[in-house]
Structure 1
Amino acid sequence: MKRTTLGDTGLEVSELGFDFSAGRVVRSAHESLERLETDHVDAVGVTGYPPAAPAYVAERTRVDTIVSSCRYTLQNRQLATWRDWFTRHGTAVINASPLSMGALTNRGAPPWHPAPPDVLARCAEAGALCGARGEELARVALRFAVTTGGFAGTLVGADDPAEVHRNVRWITEPVDENLLREVEACLEPVRDRSWPSGRPESRPA
């Protein structure tokens, strides 16, 4: 299967490295076909937008899959409201970044994280809560996303094979349900808060 990403400008996310304007998407498609030395791709997917945007596309043409980031996590459940809609339209949903780009970890979000300060503060508080119990917030967050989401797949980053094996182990190990409830209570004031990404002129209205 040949796969590519449209709209990627080659810059880091922190440098607004995604341009999803119509012109850039068309140019990016041709660039990708040339790099892949092919005249087609095997599947059509949409990523980088809030769920309503790929839903708009899926109503009008075939969309095999969408990749939605940071929208089914301990802090944000927006994607859950769209799960059945996409299923009815034959679109598989991949839930990406269940750790909310590092915010849902004991270490905390990287400096470039685009979330509002109050969201990051609550995530940091949840990390401290887990750390005080000898637990890793990332484990709680990953297991929650995988075991409760019901999506076609979950996409989480890993630096090396050891982290891949660790993530698989985390998914299969139970978590302290009382701690999970405390973490959810901590994040409740910022539940379902999201943030813009990509170039301002290319963001959905």
Structure 2
Amino acid sequence: MPLPPTYVEGFHDKESVLQMEYTDLGKTGLKVSKLSFGGGPLGGAVTYGEYLEEEAINTVREAIRKGINYIDTAPAYGQGRSEELLGKALAGVPRKAYYISTKVSRYGRHWSEMFDRSEDRILSGFDQSLKYLGLDYVDIVIVHDVEFGPMEQILNESIPAAAKLIKQNKARHLGISAYPIPPMCEIIEKSTIPIEVIISYSRDLIFDNTLQEYIPFFETRNIGIINAAITGMGILTLEGPPAWHPASPELKAICKQAAEYAKVKGVELSKLSVGHSLEQPGAHSYLVGMTERKILKKNLNALKGLSEEEKFILREIKQIFFNSGKNLCWEGKEISAYKKFLESNNS
């Protein structure tokens, strides 16, 4: 397999890069690694809990050195903390070695002011993001969580503002993100400015294959597909999800039982979840949040595929815990869940 355009002699672990799979991200011209680096957990306590800064910095650098060449973050992750941490981690890393995206139109922790889709806020917020990151530009600017609306403002003000950033050479490509997929499809069909990338998250999981229904829609338009949060934002881990997680108590309980069952069988549910998602067709890259090198190592190992024994345990878990015949998700509930959590945290 040829080396990707992001390869830098003397910086990368060449053998690891040669083992990584790279795919063209739609029509962007970017060739992204199958496993990519999510900056959500770098936001700290409010999102996924605290971490050791030095270890997180080393994890970012090691991930790039091992061939992960796409990083995603957002100002909403810890009120800029994720971007700041990445700025420290990327200092001294060759700019050619990675692609990076950050987001616009979601800021802060207070529900009443969180979503500001206006052009002025997007332009000023993006300049702050670049300052935190220590960069002159990012490769992709993402309009964040479009399902929260309002749709008309996103179409008529937010996306044009993001396009202006591209004209100013502060970003190169334009994308959108959401949990429910239909709002992204609607924007793609209605926008007069082409959307090049979508970030879907907590899909193609052990209990939810919703993304697969929409892959043909995106493929026919040559749109890059990033599938993020493939442990369901922590719900498919032994540690369990954070307090704000919008899944129902019933689904959380089922996933906890599945995690404990996997532990008894000698395997981590998170590995089975990541392994399952990586085998699903359609997405160009799979975004996973990481703050420690031991987690990075586990995820890189998952790229090699599950063992036959692990596949057998995964089939057992699907049969025992997730055999309802329907997708299990929190679509339609995430907005009220986030609002309730934020209001209680800031009261």
Q: Deviations over 1:148-200 (max 9, x none)?
A: 23311000011123321221112214242221112112123373322433478
Q: Deviations over 1:42-62 (max 9, x none)?
A: 111111341111111111331
Cα 1:25–1:47 shift into 2, 3 Å: farther
Partner of 1:43: 173
Q: TM-score, normalised by structure 2?
A: 0.51
More deviation in 62-71 or 23-32?
Answer: 23-32
Partner of 2:316: 182
Q: Which has the higher contact order (CA 8 A, sep 6+)?
A: 1
CA RMSD of aligned residues (A): 2.7
Partner of 1:54: 184
- Structure 1 residue 136: deviation in Å? 0.2
- Structure 1 residue 65: deviation in Å? 0.6
- Structure 1 residue 17: deviation in Å? 9.5
More deviation in 57-66 or 79-88?
Answer: 57-66
SS of aligned partner of 2:172: coil
More deviation in 23-32 or 89-98?
Answer: 23-32
Say if 2:325 is the partner of 1:193.
no
Partner of 1:108: 240
Residues 149-168 of structure 1 aligned to structure 2 (within 5 Å): 149-168=281-300
SS of aligned partner of 1:54: helix
Give the letter aligned to residue 10 of structure 1: G
Partner of 2:271: 139
Give the letter aligned to residue 52 of structure 1: P
Contact 1:77 1:192 survives alignment (8 Å): no
Q: TM-score, normalised by structure 1?
A: 0.83
Contact 1:104 1:141 survives alignment (8 Å): yes
Contact 1:98 1:156 survives alignment (8 Å): yes
Match among 171, 178, 192 for residue 303 of structure 2: 171
Contact 1:106 1:137 survives alignment (8 Å): yes
Q: Matches of 1:84 and 1:162 in 2, distance apart? A: 36
How many residues of Structure 1 are paired with residues of Structure 2 in the alignment?
197
Contact 2:225 2:282 survives alignment (8 Å): no
- Structure 1 residue 147: deviation in Å? 1.5
Give the letter aligned to residue 121 of structure 1: A
Q: Matches of 1:33 and 1:152 in 2, distance apart? A: 26
SS of aligned partner of 1:71: coil
Partner of 2:119: 26
User: Percent of counterpart pairs with the same letter?
Assistant: 21
Q: Matches of 1:2 and 1:155 in 2, distance apart? A: 12
More deviation in 171-180 or 78-87?
Answer: 171-180
List runs of 5+ in structure 2 lacking aligned partners: 1-98, 131-135, 137-164, 340-347
Q: Matches of 2:113 and 2:335 in 1, distance apart? A: 5
Give the letter aligned to residue 281 of structure 2: G
Say if 2:252 is the partner of 1:127.
no
More deviation in 118-127 or 105-114?
Answer: 105-114
Contact 1:16 1:198 survives alignment (8 Å): no
Q: Matches of 2:203 and 2:112 in 1, distance apart? A: 20
Partner of 2:102: 4
Structure 1 outlier segments of 4+, above 6 Å: none
- Structure 1 residue 126: deviation in Å? 1.0
Contact 1:58 1:89 survives alignment (8 Å): no
Contact 2:208 2:329 survives alignment (8 Å): yes
- Structure 1 residue 111: deviation in Å? 2.5
Partner of 1:93: 225
- The structure with the largest strand share of the pair is 2
